[in-house]
A and B are shown apart, each in its own frame.
Chain A
């Protein structure tokens, strides 16, 4: 069964450093997402990406965040200057599109900012 692959599974970074979280969505999917889950809290939407541009972003997704789909297969989330409160599980997800809202989630990257 097709999977969404995320790397790394765990990343520890110093506060103020830049991090890039990587995702390989399912190949025929058209919509791509990043969600995050702070320990003990709800899964929250960050950003959606379609047709090589951001289609929606949440209040969390400020200027410190950016997304790219550089080569037609990878989908990345960059945090330019990490803060302690960015520590969370980050999930990538993709779906085919149209009225099919069947998401597939990756296993996540646990980001720890120290």
Chain B
């Protein structure tokens, strides 16, 4: 069964303390892996799309990487405004997204 699993479920960091979020997937024929940010009561906000193993993308303090089995979202020197839930999703062959359960990040000043 195709699955997307994110870890940890929750992460507390001090401002400036870098860390990584993990997304492991078991999907045959990956068509794309997405990272989204979700603030409470809001819809997912697009961060990155990765299509092939070895690909990396960066945006401000965030960097996403992809291997054949997992993706990492690296957060460098986070700030309190980076606090949110980060969602990973893979594109199924029909075009729908299969989401992980998310990692809730809290960055304390």
Which residues of A pack against B, CB within 8 Å? 4, 6, 31, 33, 35, 41-45, 48, 55-56, 89, 91, 95, 99, 101-108, 110
Contacts and interface: CB of A to CB of B under 8 A. Distances in A.
A6 B31 CA distance: 28
Report the contact-size class of chain B (Cβ under 8 Å from the partner). 20 to 34
Nearest to B45: A105
A108 B42 CA distance: 6
A43 B87 contact: yes
Interface of B: 31-32, 34, 36, 41-46, 49, 87, 89, 91, 94-102
B46 A103 contact: yes
B94 A103 contact: no
B99 A103 contact: no
15 contacts: A31-B95, A35-B97, A41-B101, A42-B100, A43-B89, A43-B99, A55-B94, A55-B95, A56-B95, A89-B41, A91-B43, A103-B97, A105-B45, A108-B42, A110-B41
